[in-house]
Structure 1
Amino acid sequence: MKIKEIILFTTNIQKQKQFYQNVLEFELVLDSEEKISFKTGTSLLSFQYDKKAVNASHFALNIPSNQEEDALLWLQKRVKILPDGDDLISDFTSWNAKAIYFYDADKNIVEFIARKNLNINSRASFSSKGILSISEMAIATTNIEMVYNSINNMKSIPVFDGDFTRFCALGNDEGLFILINKTIKKWHPTQEEAFTSNFIIKGDYNFSFENGEIKELL
Structure 2
Amino acid sequence: MKIKEIILFTANIQKQKQFYQNVLEFELILDLKEKISFKTGASILSFQHDKKAVNASHFAFNIPSNQEQDALLWLQKRVQILPYGHDLISNFTSWNAKAVYFYDSDNNIVEFIARKNLEINSHTSFASKSILSISEIGIVTTNIETVYNSINNMKNIPVFSGNLMRFCALGNDEGLFILINKTLKKWYPTQEEAFTSNFIVRGDYNFSFENGEIKELL
TM range (shorter): over 0.9
CA distance in structure 1 between the aligned counterparts of 2:118 and 2:108, rounded to whole angstroms: 25
* In the alignment, structure 1 residue 27 sits paired with structure 2 residue 27: yes
Q: Secondary structure at 1:114's aligned position in 2?
A: strand
Q: Secondary structure at 2:30's aligned position in 1?
A: strand
CA distance in structure 2 between the aligned counterparts of 1:43 and 1:12, rounded to whole angstroms: 22
Question: 1:144: Cα distance to partner?
Answer: 0.2
Q: Secondary structure at 1:19's aligned position in 2?
A: helix
Measured against aligned partners, the alpha-carbon deviations of 1:30-74 in whole angstroms (never above 9, x if no partner) come to: 000000000000000000000111100000000000000000000
| Correspondences of 1:2-41 after superposition (within 5 Å) | 2-41=2-41
Q: Secondary structure at 2:33's aligned position in 1?
A: coil
User: Could you list the runs of 4 or more consecutive aligned residues of structure 1 that deviate by over 4 angstroms after TM superposition?
Assistant: none
* In the alignment, structure 1 residue 117 sits paired with structure 2 residue 117: yes
* In the alignment, structure 1 residue 179 sits paired with structure 2 residue 179: yes
Question: 1:78: Cα distance to partner?
Answer: 0.1
* In the alignment, structure 1 residue 214 sits paired with structure 2 residue 218: no
CA distance in structure 2 between the aligned counterparts of 1:113 and 1:53, rounded to whole angstroms: 28
Question: 1:204: Cα distance to partner?
Answer: 0.2
Please name the residue that 1:201 is paired with.
Answer: 201
Measured against aligned partners, the alpha-carbon deviations of 1:110-130 in whole angstroms (never above 9, x if no partner) come to: 000000000000001000000
Please name the residue that 2:164 is paired with.
Answer: 164
In the alignment, residue 204 of structure 2 is paired with which amino acid? D
Please name the residue that 1:62 is paired with.
Answer: 62
TM-score (norm 1): 1.00
TM-score (norm 2): 1.00
Please name the residue that 1:103 is paired with.
Answer: 103
Question: 1:135: Cα distance to partner?
Answer: 0.3
CA distance in structure 1 between the aligned counterparts of 2:206 and 2:52, rounded to whole angstroms: 24
Question: 1:12: Cα distance to partner?
Answer: 0.8
Question: 1:108: Cα distance to partner?
Answer: 0.2
Question: 1:158: Cα distance to partner?
Answer: 0.3
CA distance in structure 2 between the aligned counterparts of 1:45 and 1:121, rounded to whole angstroms: 23
Q: Which runs of 5+ in 2 are unaligned?
A: none
CA distance in structure 1 between the aligned counterparts of 2:137 and 2:85, rounded to whole angstroms: 23
| Correspondences of 1:132-151 after superposition (within 5 Å) | 132-151=132-151
CA distance in structure 2 between the aligned counterparts of 1:162 and 1:151, rounded to whole angstroms: 16
Q: Which runs of 5+ in 1 are unaligned?
A: none
Cα RMSD (Å):
0.3
Q: Secondary structure at 1:153's aligned position in 2?
A: helix
CA distance in structure 2 between the aligned counterparts of 1:183 and 1:40, rounded to whole angstroms: 32
Question: 1:173: Cα distance to partner?
Answer: 0.5
Q: Secondary structure at 1:9's aligned position in 2?
A: strand
CA distance in structure 1 between the aligned counterparts of 2:85 and 2:151, rounded to whole angstroms: 33
Question: 1:14: Cα distance to partner?
Answer: 0.3
